[in-house]
């Protein structure tokens, strides 16, 4: 997929140069920002249909050329990630692939209704998550995957990046492991509240939320959305999908407690686990 995305960007760049236009000139003619044109031409993002139409109009492209660009962009924007199954490549390699996507993003927003987000998981907690998945995926590299997830978490200390984690109280309290592990996990989340580039939200059990939390999703900048299933990952490219899930994220977020307001829920969960 990355090769096709780069080819689409290179094609648009070639068409621009054939018309003697700089990126700045094309930006002025199309109404699309120069920085966004640069991202498209370098293959870092896939343009939406309306973006293709604006660029095509600004460059006076023939209908046939415009149609071919629209068809290619459409196929790329919603394509099942061409990753081998977890059983084929192992859980560690899946973590490495996600780490690569995280490295390219400046803002990462995670909605997790079921368990604690991976970037906030303690190794003991993550080990139980991977061990549970092992039964269904057939992958056996639990320890390696646990270490890879811990390695991913170094990105949290990159001050140039911003992280927003939104989870339900159910995700906090789902007992994936022993009480001591769960109590320590609640403490770990509380400790992350002190990081300037990390924002944490919790949706309480008591809150009425008129939206079903169908699945977890992660938004990378405003360009890519990752939907994770047990053994597959769906990646949606483009501003429309990112904006749609961004609105959903904000809708859930309106029912959450944020930042230090989450401390009572975190402390209550920790105490309950220790008493159990």
Percent of the chain whose predicted confidence (pLDDT) is above 70: 94
Listed range (48-62, 229-243, 247-261) with the worst mean pLDDT: 229-243
pLDDT tens across 162-184, in order?
999 999 999 999 999 999 999 99
Higher pLDDT, 80 or 31: 31
- β-bridge partners, 233: 228
What are the C-alpha distances in Å from 156 to residues 37, 195, 216? 29, 9, 20
**pLDDT score of 80 more than 50:** no
In the chain, % helix, strand, coil (3-state, to 5) comes to: 60, 15, 30
- Is residue 78 very low, low, confident or very high in pLDDT (cuts 50, 70, 90)? low
Strand order in the sheet with 217-220: 78-80, 233-237, 224-228, 217-220, 107-112, 162-168, 198-203, 257-258
Query: For residues 46 and 44, what is the distance between their CA atoms, to the nearest angstrom?
Result: 7
pLDDT of residue 47: 82
Domains and CATH numbers, the chain: 2-78 (1.10.260.40), 86-275 (3.30.870.10)
Sign of CA dihedral 258, 260, 265, 266: positive
**pLDDT score of 45 more than 80:** no
Neighbours of 265 (CB within 10 A): 20
Question: Given its phi and psi angles, is residue 245 left (phi above 0), alpha (psi -120 to 50 degrees) or beta?
Answer: alpha
Q: Identify the three-state secondary structure at position 251.
A: helix
pLDDT of residue 267: 98
Q: What is the pTM of this model?
A: 0.74
* Contact status, residue 97 vs residue 145, Cβ threshold 8 Å: no
Query: For residues 223 and 81, what is the distance between their CA atoms, to the nearest angstrom?
Result: 15
Query: For residues 242 and 236, what is the distance between their CA atoms, to the nearest angstrom?
Result: 8
Average pLDDT over every residue of 9-24: 94
* Contact status, residue 137 vs residue 91, Cβ threshold 8 Å: yes
pLDDT tens across 133-158, in order?
887 877 889 999 999 999 999 999 99
Query: For residues 50 and 74, what is the distance between their CA atoms, to the nearest angstrom?
Result: 11
- β-bridge partners, 219: 109, 225
């Amino acid at each position: 997929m990355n090769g096709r995305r780069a080819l689409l960007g290179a094609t648009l760049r070639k068409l621009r140069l054939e018309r003697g236009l700089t990126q700045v000139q094309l930006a002025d003619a199309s109404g699309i920002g120069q920085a966004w044109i640069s991202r498209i031409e370098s293959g870092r993002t896939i343009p939406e249909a309306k973006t293709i139409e604006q660029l095509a109009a600004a460059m006076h492209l023939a209908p046939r050329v415009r149609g071919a660009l629209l068809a290619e962009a459409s196929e790329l924007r919603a394509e099942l990630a061409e990753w081998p199954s977890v059983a084929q490549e192992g859980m560690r390699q899946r973590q490495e692939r996600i780490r690569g996507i995280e490295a390219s993003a400046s803002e990462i927003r995670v909605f997790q209704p079921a368990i604690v987000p991976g970037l906030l998981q303690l190794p003991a907690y993550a080990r139980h998550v991977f061990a549970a998945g092992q039964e269904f995926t057939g992958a056996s590299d639990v320890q390696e995957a646990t270490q890879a997830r811990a390695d991913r978490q170094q990105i949290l200390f990159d001050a140039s990046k911003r992280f927003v984690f939104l989870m339900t109280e159910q995700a906090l309290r789902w007992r994936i492991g022993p009480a001591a592990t769960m109590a320590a996990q609640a403490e770990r989340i509380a400790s992350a509240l002190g990081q300037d580039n990390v924002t944490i939200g919790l949706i309480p059990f008591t809150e009425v939320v008129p939206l079903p939390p169908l699945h977890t999703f992660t938004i990378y900048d405003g360009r890519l959305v990752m939907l994770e299933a047990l053994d597959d990952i769906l990646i949606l490219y483009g501003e429309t999908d990112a904006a749609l899930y961004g609105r959903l994220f904000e809708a859930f977020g309106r029912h959450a407690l944020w930042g230090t307001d989450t401390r009572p829920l975190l402390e209550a969960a920790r105490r309950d686990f220790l008493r159990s």
